[in-house]
């Protein structure tokens, strides 16, 4: 049986431990991404917030492990790993695929364990109830690389190194498969405050699709649009950190309450 220490070593990266922090921020990466994407954000967060970045299998120091290709399976693993960390309030920040994962893990924590998040931040992702038919995971390697270039989520120098990018393709393809085969199952709303953050020129999500996250909580809802595309947050880290810091404080007031529908 895997011990907690072994589970944490596999799944959790704690770049700047803050053991006395009152709140924990759990960051879930985008498709093809890794925990290290959140190292700068972790460094920028205040001492009051302990940051845990999730490392999916099949990349970086876990590259020898098989990738997980379905979102429910990945969400189940992450839920189990995070349970021991629920002794303090949790805030989730998920970007792209990570946003849907954050939502599904939050549902499992509420439904199966009675744990309600302090807040959930869904970044650069359409609401779960706004499906699209997408088949990027079925493309050949060149088509998959072109998709990554379009979103500008990887450093251009890495994209120009064909050997490096091809090493990352299995993880990218598996994550796209998980994201694109995900099917939302209607159920109870979350009971935590929920924010939707999006870039105004994101090719993967419309503003209406991002605003429709309001349908998935019965608590307060906030909506913020940034200049930029799918990876707007790399240019607006200070503002994202400000929002996350505010979301980690107790008794947040509702921002832009109301419910939206899919376009």
The count of C-alpha atoms lying within 13 angstroms of the C-alpha of 113, restricted to the half-sphere facing its C-beta, is 17
Tokens of 56: 């999916």
The count of C-alpha atoms lying within 13 angstroms of the C-alpha of 177, restricted to the half-sphere facing its C-beta, is 14
Residue indicated by tokens 């190292």? 39
**Residue 13 backbone zone (phi > 0: left; psi -120 to 50: alpha; other: beta):** beta
Out of 34, 77, 95, 96, the active site residue is: 96
Q: How far apart are the first and last CA of the chain?
A: 47
User: Taking the mean position of all CA atoms in its chain, how far away is CA 262?
Assistant: 21
Other C-beta atoms closer than 10 Å to the C-beta of 160 total: 9
Asked if 16 is an active-site residue, the reply is no
181-189 long-range contacts, Cβ below 8 Å, gap at least 24? 181/69, 181/70, 181/71, 181/137, 182/71, 182/72, 182/100, 182/128, 183/131, 184/128, 184/129, 184/131, 186/129, 187/107, 187/111, 188/110, 188/111, 189/215, 189/216, 189/217, 189/218
Out of 137, 177, 230, 236, the active site residue is: 230
Burial class (CB in 10 A: 0-12, 13-18, 19+), 199: buried
Asked if 42 is an active-site residue, the reply is no
Catalytic residues: 96, 230
């Amino acid at each position: 049986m895997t011990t907690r220490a072994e589970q944490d070593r596999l799944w959790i990266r704690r770049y700047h431990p803050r053991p006395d922090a009152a709140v924990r921020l759990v960051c879930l990466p985008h498709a093809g991404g890794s925990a290290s994407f959140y190292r700068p954000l972790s460094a920028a967060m205040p001492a009051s917030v302990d940051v845990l970045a999730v490392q999916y299998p099949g990349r970086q120091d876990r590259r020898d492990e098989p990738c997980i290709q379905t979102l429910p399976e990945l969400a189940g693993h992450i839920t189990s790993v995070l349970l021991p960390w629920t002794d303090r309030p949790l805030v989730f920040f998920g970007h792209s695929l990570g946003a849907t994962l954050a939502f599904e893990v939050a549902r499992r924590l509420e439904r199966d364990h009675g744990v309600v998040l302090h807040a959930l931040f869904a970044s650069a992702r359409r609401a779960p109830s706004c499906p699209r038919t997408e088949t990027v995971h079925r493309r050949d390697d060149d088509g998959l690389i072109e998709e990554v270039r379009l979103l500008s989520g990887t450093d251009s120098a890495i994209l120009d190194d064909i050997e490096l990018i091809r090493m990352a393709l299995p993880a990218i393809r598996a994550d796209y498969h998980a994201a694109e085969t995900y099917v939302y199952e209607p159920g109870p709303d979350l009971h935590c405050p929920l924010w939707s953050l999006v870039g105004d020129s994101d090719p993967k999500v419309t503003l209406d699709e991002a605003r429709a996250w309001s349908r998935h909580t019965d608590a307060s809802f906030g909506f913020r649009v940034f200049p930029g595309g799918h990876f707007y947050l790399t240019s607006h880290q200070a503002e994202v950190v400000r929002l996350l810091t505010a979301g980690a404080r107790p008794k947040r007031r509702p921002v832009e309450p109301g419910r939206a529908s899919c376009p």
